[in-house]
Amino acid sequence: MTIRIDTTINGDRMEIDVDPTLTLLEVLRENLFLSGTKEGCGVGECGTCVVLVDGEPVTSCLVLAGDGDGANLETVEGLAQNGELNEVQQAFVNTGAFQCGFCTPAMVLSATALLRDNPQPDEEEVKKALGGILCRCGAYPKILEAVIEVTGEGA
């Protein structure tokens, strides 16, 4: 069985036929080859599968494909435009806010969403917003530094 969903992904509107028992994460990675979104646990506990749904970071492993219908989805692949990194991506590069990079798409997306809603978050707000994404490499200090750098409040 398939259902048709009408969705916008990184600005491209598309109608796709999907198996409704797949998760949004599986659709993105396997049907659409957007493998920048990672799966670290499959049950909402590590945060590496975060994508933006209507601007909000959500764990895409817990969303069924059908809920992609009518949604505006953003994945890490959509952040850089015309070969230019967005300001969060650029700050991650400048500060070295990643190591293995596996959580980076989720971190970058979540930080981007935070800064859209709240362009001047303090450190506690940044930590709270990113508190659901694990980084086993422990890049946290530099991730925090990167997000604060974007606010212009960094040293």
3-class SS letters over 23-83: EHHHHHHHHCCCCCCCCCCCCCCCCCCEEEECCEEEEHHHCEHHHHCCCEEECHHHCCECC
Instruction: Identify the helix (H) or strand (E) that includes residue 5.
Output: strand 3-9
- For another protein, which is the closer residue by CB, 8 or 85? 85
Minimum CB separation of residue 34 from another protein in Å reads 8
Q: Which is nearer to another protein, 7 or 110 (CB)?
A: 110
* Separation of alpha carbons 46 and 39, rounded Å: 9
For the chain, the distance separating the N- and C-terminal CA atoms, rounded to the nearest angstrom, is 55
Sequence-ordered list of residues with C-beta below 8 angstroms from that of 142, at least 6 positions apart, any chain: 95, 96, 97, 98
Q: Which residues pair with 58 in a beta bridge?
A: 51
> How is residue 90 annotated by DSSP?
H
Closer of 120 and 123 to another protein (Cβ) = 123
CB of 152 to another protein, least distance (A): 20
Closest contact distance (angstroms) between CB of 13 and another protein is 19
Q: In angstroms, what is the minimal distance from the CB of 137 to another protein?
A: 5
Give the pairing type, strands 3-9 and 72-74: parallel
Q: Which is nearer to another protein, 81 or 120 (CB)?
A: 81
Minimum CB separation from another protein for residue 14, in Å? 19
